[in-house]
Amino acid sequence: MSDRAARPTAHEVLAAVLQIRDGTLQVLAWRRAQPPDAGRWALPGGLLGDDEDVEASVRRQLAEKVDVREISHVEQLAVFSAPHRVPGARRIATAFLGLVPSDADPVVPADTTWHPVDAVPDPAFDHVEIVRAARDRLRAKLSYTNLGFALAPRKFTISMLREHYAAALGHPVSATNLQRVLARRAVLVPTGELVAPGPAGGRPAALFRFAERTLRVTDAFAVLRPPGRPPGEHARAALP
């Protein structure tokens, strides 16, 4: 029997939990205390239980390990199954994207913190690949779905929403064009409330909310492209 055939195989679930914090898209990670990869930053998760499916498992482990109970959206990303992605016994990982609204502040243990998605220090195993997959999935779905609801608070100004989209997409976004695009898709609803102007004065800003807080495809072929980039075949929703 070959060494590969003799290795036991375990199935784990991992979550790349993303949130807009301090104006940047960040991911939750914990510092491993035990080998392998002790001292490196890992995504929360663990072994799949015998009596649960993968989504039930990831939700349970998030609630138990990092007390992230305010997740507004969870979806499966991909299966990571490289034979030697972790040392020792083989582990196949089902990875998830989780999103937390910006007005939530989940309680996390002392060994757990938030990091910018593009600057996770000393990532464990292949977890940086999972973070990149989660970031790219979020960016893609912001183009053609209403997934912004999972990042934004319940009520927001268009300026605030623009900042969220810019942080998630990684490029500047026009508030006027964003409102026009989302209004055309019937994604936003005015609340009828206003926010008082800041110290600089100006007119009170209107508050909006998302019409739905469940995922819906709004424009199957749209791409929210950076300013100045020529539109591709299906890039019909530029936000310069």
The whole-number pLDDT of residue 164 equals 98
Residue 70: pLDDT band by 50, 70, 90 thresholds? confident
124-149 pLDDT, tens digit per residue, is 999 999 999 999 999 999 999 999 99
The whole-number pLDDT of residue 240 equals 37
From the list 40, 47, 106, 44, the residue with the least C-alpha distance to 72 is: 106
Is the pLDDT at 221 greater than 70? The verdict is yes
Q: Where are the domains of the chain?
A: 3-141, 145-240
Q: Are strands 90-99 and 9-21 parallel, antiparallel or unpaired?
A: parallel
Domains 3-141 and 145-240 share a fold: no
**Three-state DSSP class for 64?**
helix
**Three-state DSSP class for 90?**
strand
Distance CA 106, CA 71 (A): 9
Amino acid at 217: V
User: Stretch 198-209: mean pLDDT, rounded?
Assistant: 83
User: Stretch 211-221: mean pLDDT, rounded?
Assistant: 92
Is the pLDDT at 8 greater than 70? The verdict is yes
User: Stretch 164-179: mean pLDDT, rounded?
Assistant: 95
User: Stretch 209-221: mean pLDDT, rounded?
Assistant: 93
36 with 127: CB under 8 angstroms?
A: no
Residue 234: pLDDT band by 50, 70, 90 thresholds? very low
Two structure tokens written together for 24? 């940047």
The contacts of residue 16 (CB under 8 Å, 6+ apart) are 27, 43, 77, 95, 96, 97, 98, 130, 131, 133, 134, 135
Residue 227: pLDDT band by 50, 70, 90 thresholds? low
The whole-number pLDDT of residue 66 equals 85
**Please, what CATH class does the domain formed by 145-240 belong to?**
mainly alpha
Is the pLDDT at 184 greater than 50? The verdict is yes
45-67 pLDDT, tens digit per residue, is 999 999 999 999 999 999 988 88
CATH code reported for the domain at 3-141: 3.90.79.10
User: Stretch 9-14: mean pLDDT, rounded?
Assistant: 95
Peptide linkage before 36 cis (omega within 30 of 0): yes
Angle 152-153-154 (CA atoms, 0-180°, nearest 5)?
Answer: 120
Distance CA 74, CA 97 (A): 6
Lowest mean pLDDT among 110-124, 166-180, 196-210: 196-210
The whole-number pLDDT of residue 233 equals 38
Is the pLDDT at 86 greater than 70? The verdict is yes
The whole-number pLDDT of residue 36 equals 94
Surface-to-core class of residue 131, CB atoms within 10 Å of its CB (0-12 exposed, 13-18 middle, 19+ buried)? buried
